[in-house]
Amino acid sequence: MAENSRTATETRAARREALRDLLRRSGLDALLVTDLLNIRYLTGFTGSNAALLVHAGGDDRTLFCTDGRYTTQAAAEVPDLERVLGRASAATLLAQAAAKADDYARTGFESQYVSVEQHAALAEAADEVELHRAPGLVERLRVVKDETEVEALRRACAAADRALAELIEHGGLRPGRTEREVARDLENRMLDHGSEGPSFTSIVAAGANSAIPHHRPSDAVLAAGDFVKLDFGATVDGYHSDMTRTVVLGTAADWQRELYELVLHAQAAGRAAVVPGAEVAAVDGAARDVIAAAGRGEEFSHGLGHGVGLQIHEAPSLAATGAGTLSAGMAVTVEPGVYLAGRGGVRIEDTLVVREGTPELLTLTSKELAVV
């Protein structure tokens, strides 16, 4: 159930309070937020031009700026903040900060999103305000989801689950269709079940193409005996789901069943390792070791998974080279795969939320081998 506007407003205010606390601990007086996803996270605004100036003080003195196209939208989506208008939103806010330079003496900015030219314009507007690189502060908050976010992820995963079930039930996976036709059919069905749009360009990979981890749908025709790998997701309230299932058309050969069972066991091992406090590299290793023990380690060519949320790929990275540990509330994917060039490949992927004890599984489609 969607939260009412009062609860949503309170949730975003709490996020800004957490950011202000982080700013104080970082020795900053304020943060200029220019990434639109971070602005959406902190305010609920969904337009294409905005900036936010979050002051570190105890009271919420956050300033929001957008341009005249979004006056009505901003009033509805950001009712609790002071709103100003300016086409160059970030520079407009810095000019206001410059007028109170003592209050904004050390202002951070999201340096990972700012070009050299943009920085020059910001520095000019800031005047005597010192600009300091402050990458990743909002993202540090976003990595652990609150229950509002988890509910959006549940709904996005449910839309994907229902779309795949319908696709199979209505014969959408059959010899003679092209990969591109199947992808379009799947995405349309997700729209029918409440998706705002696909999380990413859906992957439909048939036959030998299923051995290409990120194959793009083509005019290749599905044939009896093919592996068909489907990697897709829905978006609800800006939050992304991510799921992969691999099926066989017609009759599954022994080698296909053996390969599928290997990946299924690896995926189960990876999911079981998703617990608070687990090192992300160890989670990757739990699945990777199963595949390596079967002599297929070289054919698992990517990390085990990644965070999901307002972006389809965000922290944490579940990979052998990843750093850090899992915390309760993180939303991640677990997606091992084995790819045999020229023959076919299998990937099985779920979206999960890290919980105390066992993770909460959000993608509920069966992982038993489907032969359709």
Per residue in 66-78, pLDDT tens? 999 999 999 999 9
Same-domain check for residues 135 and 157: no
At which of 81, 110, 142 does a domain end? Answer: 142
Q: Are residues 284 and 311 in the same domain?
A: yes
Nearest to 212 by CA among 246, 186, 177: 246
* Beta bridge partner(s), residue 205: 229
- Do 196 and 107 share a structural domain? no
* Predicted pLDDT of residue 185: 99
* Domain of 97, in residue numbers: 5-142
Tally of domains within the chain: 2
CATH number at residue 87: 3.40.350.10
Q: What is the pTM of this model?
A: 0.95
**Domain holding 298: CATH number?**
3.90.230.10
194-210 pLDDT, tens digit per residue, is 999 999 999 999 999 99
- For the cut 50, the answer to whether the pLDDT of residue 1 exceeds it is no
The rounded Cα 295 to chain-centroid distance in angstroms is 32
Averaged pLDDT, 277-304:
99
103 and 158 share a domain?
no
Same domain, 127 and 164: no
**pLDDT tens digits, 70-100:** 999 999 999 999 999 998 899 999 999 999 9
Query: Hey, what amino acid is at 183?
Result: A
pLDDT band (50, 70, 90) for residue 6: low
User: Chain centroid to CA 313: how far?
Assistant: 4
Domain closes at, from 142, 163, 189: 142
Residues 79 and 217 in one domain: no
**d(Cα 30, Cα 275) in Å, to the nearest integer?**
35
Return the pLDDT at 365.
99
Q: Looking at the structure, do residues 209 and 115 belong to the same domain, yes or no? A: no
